Amino acid sequence: MPKVLIIRTDHLGDLILTTPLMRALHKANYQVDIIARSSNLPILLNNPYVSTYYSIESIAPEFPEKWLLLSKWIARHGYDILMLPYSKPKELLFASLFSNVKKRIVMTGGIWGRITHHRCLRSGLLTYPRHMADVLLDFARYLKLHPDGIAPDIFFSDGERDWAREQITRRFDCNWIIGIHPGSTGNACNLPAKEYGKIARYILENTQWGIIVTGGKDENSLIHDWPDFVLNHSRCWLTFGLFSLRQLTSIISFLDVYLCPTTGPLHIAASIKIMTLSPFCPIPYRGKAVWGNSGTPSYSIEGDPSFCKVYNEGYTHNCDFHGRITGEMIFEELNRIFDTQKSVVIYDN
């Protein structure tokens, strides 16, 4: 059985978007091992398509500075194929070069990818936008394998959803529960945090829906400008830093709609078929076609194309939509979704 190593030392969402590739490789009788950040690895728990996963911190604690430790580790494990879905930092390419792996493949490796003798795949996103999970499946296509769809995978362990159900039923008696995730890592356009507070206020003032606000323990500043009415309301559960990654995933599995930008939690929702509503940049290679929810039909609101074309010329600039998407617009869309989904009953997800 050929042994494949995939290295993803970037963001949680990117690791989740790589799970369709793991599935395709496994179903073609490849052994699939993963190296990722220790904070992201729990998302792979119980994944039957992954043989073993390792943290980059345990292999090369001072990576990327001491990248040679990673190279020596790879060489000792005798992999047949090494895949780098993201070529940064360039020290990943150096570690790969000296790993003794014969077949080394990288996505959009650029000049450093070619200098380090990798097979460089092209995403083609600038001319032919398609979902990033599908882009990553080009690794499988290069091996002449047939992918098994682009929907990402997360697998629950026994008792995880039972725990989440108990947590939610203790706090809510609502016909709908909306998740709000106001933060992102800054690699995509996102609404100002204050707009998410407005959305929460509109929900609490005009509906009987419950709200679960999610975020990391260091993201409390996002709700600094939210109304006290929202922060102290019995139907609003603020959960910053309360959950492990697995617990957050279980809680998300009971949401009716998850309001979030294109970030890790959106791809968690896609993996477990939870409907999302997201603000998106209208520029094609940065929009929903590339970064949206690939697991279930979902909704988005896009910014002003004429404004974004001027402001976001190129690939590196993110913005807060400059008032082109507002809390009022998001709330109106939530109402429209509710009107079409009235048959949805909480806890039947």
CA distances 322 to 105, 277, 291, Å, are 40, 19, 21
- All domains of the chain in start order, with CATH: 3-142 (3.40.50.2000), 160-340 (3.40.50.2000)
Residue 259 phi, psi (nearest 5):
-90, 110
User: Which pair of structure tokens corresponds to residue 189?
Assistant: 């356009």
C-alpha gyration radius of the chain: 21
Q: In tens digits, what is the pLDDT along the chain, a chain of 349 residues?
A: 999 999 999 999 999 999 999 999 999 999 999 999 999 999 999 999 999 999 999 999 999 999 999 999 999 999 999 999 999 999 999 999 999 999 999 999 999 999 999 999 999 998 899 999 999 999 999 999 999 999 999 999 889 999 999 999 999 998 899 999 999 876 788 999 999 999 999 999 999 999 999 998 889 999 999 999 999 999 999 999 999 999 999 999 999 999 999 999 999 999 999 999 999 988 888 889 999 999 888 999 988 887 776 665 555 567 888 888 999 999 999 999 998 876 444 434 3
∠ at Cα 208 (203, 213), nearest 5°?
A: 50
pTM above 0.85, yes or no: yes
